[in-house]
Structure 1
Amino acid sequence: MTHEFEVDEEITLDATPEQVWQAIATGPGIDSWFMGRNEIEPREGGRSSLSLLGHTSESTVTAWEPGRRLAYRGDTGPDGTFMAFEYLIEARDGGGTVLRLVHNGLLGDDWEDQYRALSVGDGMYLRKLAVHLRHFTGRTSAWNLFLPGPAMPDPAPVWAAFTEVFGLTGPAVAGSTGRIGLDRAEPADAVVEFAHEPDFLGVRTADSLYMLVHGYRDTVVVERHAFATSAEGTESGAKAEAVATEAWTGWLNGLAGQGS
């Protein structure tokens, strides 16, 4: 049985409508704050895709008004479920842009857990988009991580691990500072950009945007978008990605050991 849902979110962004459009309506732009690898055919009726963890989901673009409105609807699954997204862009007097996201569709049998995750997660991804536009404008991520880990029903040790890995000694609130060395050749200064305890922690360094998630079905997820400099080549980027993947996989395995 399917269940209708809708999530309606709005955020003010420190960017022009054109910059927002590039971030939400191009594959490299979406890759730099969302999840997986994205492609989008730039026209109404075009096709878009999201590839993540070996699976590709496809959608049809239902509205294409550059700088104003973007909408797409996912293909309907065998069980009748689908998701649709609409982005509405409006320039703000005095600078900046207001972005509204309407996310709706039909969810499946576990709709309550799915809706709970979406109702919080959509807003957190918009905050991640805001960090990308504020601190990495004009740059797209060279490589991304999306690593799911263990299911951890107890949020307390998960949140403690989130704050510890970034070297936070006080409460995890926007503006808190720390250091991260786990996935890097040299430790780097880290700044908390947003926090929604015990579910989401968004942190920025000079070259990366991280989000740690304790989300759907209590699963812990690590996300990282690495914004390489022009001096870094493909080979060095691939090595950095491999090092980060190994480091965070080990960290997730350690969490799994705590929960057993």
Structure 2
Amino acid sequence: MSKEFEIVREFEVDVPPEEVWEAVTTGTGGYLWPMDPPEPREGGQGPFGSTVTAWDPPHRYTNRSEDVGFPVQSVNQLDYTIEPRDEGRRAWVRYVHSGIFTDDWNNQYDGASKHTNFYLHTLCEYLTHFAPRPVTFAQLNGPASSATTQALAAVGHALGLADDAAAGTKASVRGPGGRTLDAVVDYRNPYFIGLRTDNALIRFFGRGHWGAPLGISVHDFAPDADAQVNESAWQDWLNGVFSRS
């Protein structure tokens, strides 16, 4: 049964509004996946076939899709309102994700809501620590055996994270090829783990809660970063985790 949804979040970040605007309208892959930037006008084409319905730099940006193409969603809208704080040194952001889910409403809403929290946290990490450095993006998924609610715990153990390693903890984690990565655990709950190194944001998505395999995205800001190398290395690492589990 089709039903509308709305997910609203508000937050502040220690960068000027112009930097938030740049991050959410250029689609570099700094905190999400790479995407085509919107045509800079109301009525222009937005990412993934959407239409720009509001364009007021650096204060308001909205895009809307009415033929999403997903079997469980028919309408999708993303709306950003950005206002200055502290004489323009900081920004206040109101983000609204809305639309229509056509099936499995509770599960879809729960997944979208929890993913929103993680994506917006990653946006703030990107703005605070890395923007506007160029980024190399890679993403990958685990095998079918990682589509369980226990998958993220297995990843945390493979990384060498203590069970009580909460957000803000510094850790030496076990990465691909036996390498040790010095990182900060910048996000952790039963659904997601976020790691921040000097040159990267590495995100782990425990999507087994919603019936999907575990995912990883790597936002690499090192000058010599190679997306294929990152993808292959982390894919081998992830496959190894679930071949042992």
In the superposition, the TM-score normalised over structure 1's length comes to: 0.83
How far did 1:243 drift?
Answer: 2.4
Aligned partner of 2:153 among 151, 159, 163:
159
Q: Which amino acid aligns with 1:109?
A: D
Q: Give 2:221's aligned residue.
A: 227
CA 1:190 to 1:184, structure 2 compared with 1: closer, same or farther past 3 Å?
Answer: farther
Q: How many Å separate the matches in 2 of 1:248 and 1:153?
A: 17
CA 1:110 to 1:252, structure 2 compared with 1: closer, same or farther past 3 Å?
Answer: farther
Query: Can you list the C-alpha shifts for 1:211-250, whole angstroms capped at 9, x where unaligned?
Result: 1011232421101101133xx3xxxx4xx32222122212
Aligned partner of 1:103 among 56, 80, 97:
97
How far did 1:179 drift?
Answer: 2.4
- Alignment partner of 1:35 is 2:33: yes
Once the two structures are overlaid, the 10-residue window that deviates more, 148-157 or 101-110, is 148-157
Q: How many Å separate the matches in 1 of 2:24 and 2:42?
A: 15
Q: Which amino acid aligns with 1:15?
A: V
Secondary structure class of the residue paired with 2:211: helix
How far did 1:19 drift?
Answer: 0.6
Q: Give 2:54's aligned residue.
A: 63
Equivalent pair of 1:8/1:102 in contact (CA under 8 Å): yes
Aligned partner of 2:119 among 125, 136, 158:
125
How far did 1:160 drift?
Answer: 3.7
Q: How many Å separate the matches in 2 of 1:253 and 1:185?
A: 14
Q: Which amino acid aligns with 1:198?
A: P
Query: Can you list the C-alpha shifts for 1:161-208, whole angstroms capped at 9, x where unaligned?
Result: 23532x43352312211224524796431011122x210111111110
Q: Give 1:212's aligned residue.
A: 204
Q: Give 2:17's aligned residue.
A: 17
How far did 1:75 drift?
Answer: 3.7
Q: How many Å separate the matches in 2 of 1:163 and 1:99?
A: 35
How far did 1:258 drift?
Answer: 4.9
RMSD over aligned Cα atoms: 2.3
Q: How many Å separate the matches in 2 of 1:249 and 1:168?
A: 19
Equivalent pair of 2:8/2:96 in contact (CA under 8 Å): yes
CA 1:172 to 1:37, structure 2 compared with 1: closer, same or farther past 3 Å?
Answer: farther
Q: Give 2:137's aligned residue.
A: 144
- Runs of 5+ unmatched residues, structure 1: 50-56
Once the two structures are overlaid, the 10-residue window that deviates more, 57-66 or 245-254, is 245-254
Secondary structure class of the residue paired with 2:184: strand
Give percent identity, aligned residues only. 33
Aligned partner of 2:237 among 251, 254, 257:
251
- Runs of 5+ unmatched residues, structure 2: none
Secondary structure class of the residue paired with 1:38: coil
Equivalent pair of 1:184/1:244 in contact (CA under 8 Å): no
Equivalent pair of 1:87/1:100 in contact (CA under 8 Å): yes
Q: How many Å separate the matches in 2 of 1:88 and 1:173?
A: 31
Secondary structure class of the residue paired with 1:251: helix
Detail structure 1 runs of 4+ shifted over 6 Å in the superposition.
none
